[in-house]
């Protein structure tokens, strides 16, 4: 698989160093693109006309050129990108260790500290690739009509029950089966989906926002969550994240 790795840092020397580190080890299996400003990166991906990134190497700390203040703007932009691309893996970099706890406002795979160490950078990128490969390896096989269809689990957004028909909504397509929701969930690997409503079950990897009345997915879908399912569904989601209520 040919990955797309995006690097973003406002320090020209560090941007060059990161690009060299990653090119040395991953140029044969990745397209590597560098941005020296958040605005440049945002413009590139705002229109959706460029290839979807697989891995993002993002500097946490950005200096406001007018005030000189340093903030964690890189995390905010990463969150924006992960809403557009829910499967995007992120490695944060920083020279300000005090900002490290802020990274969990997004969904990071790794953190590397400055001054940069090539071995640590390579290790972080390899961890991202391992997660991607693991996700790609998990599949679901459906029998639709007389045809067997294999879907990547990471492509499935949610299941919807409509008049005894199960709709399987993926990033690219929609598939329809004559079966109940409970039977449809049995087809899915355990621990990936949460039932949020009589009519909906969601792939937790695609959840961006979990609210008392609805769940917002990375593709923009907003699905209702029933009051009686909210508590259990939230606990399942927090367990998946590895946190406690």
Domains and CATH numbers, the chain: 3-136 (3.40.50.2300), 139-241 (2.40.50.1020)
**d(Cα 46, Cα 32) in Å, to the nearest integer?**
19
The pairing of beta strand 89-94 with beta strand 70-71: unpaired
pLDDT of residue 244: 39
pLDDT of residue 100: 72
Q: Kindly state the tokens that stand for 116.
A: 């940069």
Q: Determine the average pLDDT of the residues in 83-110.
A: 84
Q: Are 125 and 133 in contact (CB under 8 A)?
A: no
**d(Cα 121, Cα 57) in Å, to the nearest integer?**
9
Mean pLDDT of the chain: 89
Q: Are 62 and 77 in contact (CB under 8 A)?
A: no
Helices 12-26 and 118-137, axial angle in degrees (round to 10):
50
**d(Cα 36, Cα 38) in Å, to the nearest integer?**
7
pLDDT of residue 1: 65
Q: Determine the average pLDDT of the residues in 152-160.
A: 94
Q: Are 217 and 230 in contact (CB under 8 A)?
A: no
Q: Kindly state the tokens that stand for 225.
A: 């969550």
Q: Are 122 and 25 in contact (CB under 8 A)?
A: yes
Q: Kindly state the tokens that stand for 6.
A: 């995006």
214 contact partners, CB below 8 Å, separation of at least 6:
222, 223, 224, 225
Q: What does the chain come to in residues?
A: 245
- Report angle CA 182, 200, 194 to the nearest 5 degrees: 75
pLDDT in tens, 66-93: 676 767 889 999 988 988 888 899 999 9
Does the pLDDT of residue 245 top 50, yes or no? Answer: no
pLDDT in tens, 223-233: 999 999 999 99
Does the pLDDT of residue 243 top 70, yes or no? Answer: no
Q: Are 66 and 93 in contact (CB under 8 A)?
A: no
8 forms beta bridges with 35, 58
Q: What is the pTM of this model?
A: 0.72
């Amino acid at each position: 698989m040919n990955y797309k790795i995006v690097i973003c840092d406002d320090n020209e020397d560090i941007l060059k160093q990161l690009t060299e580190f990653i090119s040395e080890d991953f140029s044969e299996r990745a397209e590597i693109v560098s941005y020296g400003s958040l605005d440049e990166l945002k413009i590139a991906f705002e229109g959706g006309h460029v290839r979807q990134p697989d891995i993002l190497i993002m500097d946490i700390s950005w200096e406001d050129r007018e005030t000189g203040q340093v903030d964690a703007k890189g995390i905010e932009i990463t969150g924006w990108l992960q809403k557009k691309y829910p499967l995007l893996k992120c490695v944060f970099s920083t020279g300000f260790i005090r900002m490290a706890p802020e990274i969990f406002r997004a969904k990071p795979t790794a953190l590397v500290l400055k001054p940069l160490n090539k071995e640590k950078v390579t290790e972080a990128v390899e961890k991202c690739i391992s997660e991607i490969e693991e996700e790609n390896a998990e599949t679901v096989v459906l029998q639709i009509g007389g045809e067997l269809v294999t879907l990547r689990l990471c492509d499935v957004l949610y299941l919807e029950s409509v008049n005894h028909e199960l709709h399987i909504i993926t990033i690219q397509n929609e598939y329809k089966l004559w079966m109940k929701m409970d039977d449809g969930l049995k087809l899915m690997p355990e621990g990936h989906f949460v039932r949020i409503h009589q009519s909906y079950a969601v792939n937790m990897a695609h959840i961006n926002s979990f609210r008392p009345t609805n769940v917002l997915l990375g593709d923009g879908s907003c699905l209702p969550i029933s009051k009686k399912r909210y508590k259990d569904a939230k606990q399942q989601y927090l367990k998946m994240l590895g946190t406690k209520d």
